Structure 1
Amino acid sequence: MARVTLSAAGAACPDTVWQRYAGLDQWASWSPQIKAVHSVARRLRPGMSGTVESVAGIRAAFTVEAVDHDRRTWTWRVRLGRVRIRLHHEVGARGRGSVTSLTMDGPLLVLLAYAPLARLALHRLVRP
């Protein structure tokens, strides 16, 4: 198992960035690899589960482990076949904008392959 951490800063205010995370229907607007999120719940909450569908039609199962709306952090596990990844997200203030970070734990080759897409999504997430 390996750990990779990515971050991005931008002009969007932290509350805006957090709402983009918290509302599952918004994920496809800032994450170019996501086509849809399938879950009964439409806002992040601990214990929720579902699938994330990629633009290529691949579906990965997920379970949200923790959400702290006040601290703007959340953690989830994603599973695609035998591959399992744990992702921890944080949003904070930086100057007049925000910074977001993503810490991923999983197989190193999978994390390295996913990192460019994740980096792009993080930069889009913090745009105004």
Structure 2
Amino acid sequence: MRPGLLARTARLLDGSLTLRAHGGVDAATAWRRYDELALWPRWAPHLRRVDSDAATLTAGGRGRVRGPFGVTARFAVVAVDHDRRRWTWRVRSGPLAVVLEHGVDRGPDGAGSRTWLTMRGPYPALLGYAPLAWWALHRLVSRPRLPGTAA
């Protein structure tokens, strides 16, 4: 297959998918769970370890997440808006790359919180990751306490 045709075919498979979750954890706590990278494996159990050049979400920050079976992915934090509780990162594992945009909002009645994730990349990757991401998002906003922490 010619390189140009391969690139056009790959673009046809690209798309976006948005997941949402809501729970009883207040928005400030849910945001802190995002912001403190060391907490990620506590609410996203498919992440075994996070290695980063920053302890908190920082635009331009880089690192690596490690999952089960030795799977690793490199990441770069693209943008962070702490006031609005929004952040975007680019994740790459081998030839596969996705962009993930996250946000946390207060619940509709002021109690609890809502979180969302918009993923952009190849549909097969998005659909494969969606169940794990959905599970993690629900844990982020629903667990009053994370295992091994006061968060």
Q: TM-score, normalised by structure 2?
A: 0.83
Identify the residue that residue 104 of structure 2 maps to in structure 1.
91
1:35 aligned residue (45, 48, 51) = 48
Confirm whether residue 111 of structure 1 aligns to residue 126 of structure 2.
Answer: yes
Q: RCO higher in 1 or 2 (8 Å CA, sep ≥ 6)?
A: 1
Runs of 4+ in 1 over 2 A off after TM superposition: none
Q: Shift in Å at residue 56 of structure 1? A: 2.4
Identify the residue that residue 7 of structure 1 maps to in structure 2.
20
SS of alignment partner, residue 50 of structure 1: strand
Q: Percent identity?
A: 48
Q: Deviations over 1:54-111 (max 9, x none)?
A: 1322110000000000000000000001100000000001121000000000000110
Number of residue equivalences: 128
Identify the residue that residue 63 of structure 1 maps to in structure 2.
76
Q: Deviations over 1:100-123 (max 9, x none)?
A: 000000000110010000000000
Unaligned runs of 5+ in 2: 1-13, 145-151
Unaligned runs of 5+ in 1: none
Distance 1:110 1:62 in 2: 16
- The structure having more radius of gyration, on CA atoms, is 2
Confirm whether residue 101 of structure 1 aligns to residue 110 of structure 2.
Answer: no
Distance 1:75 1:118 in 2: 15
Identify the residue that residue 46 of structure 1 maps to in structure 2.
59
Identify the residue that residue 7 of structure 2 maps to in structure 1.
none
Name the structure where helix makes up a greater proportion of residues: 2
Distance 1:118 1:90 in 2: 13
Q: Shift in Å at residue 32 of structure 1? A: 1.3
Q: TM-score, normalised by structure 1?
A: 0.98
Name the structure where strand makes up a greater proportion of residues: 1
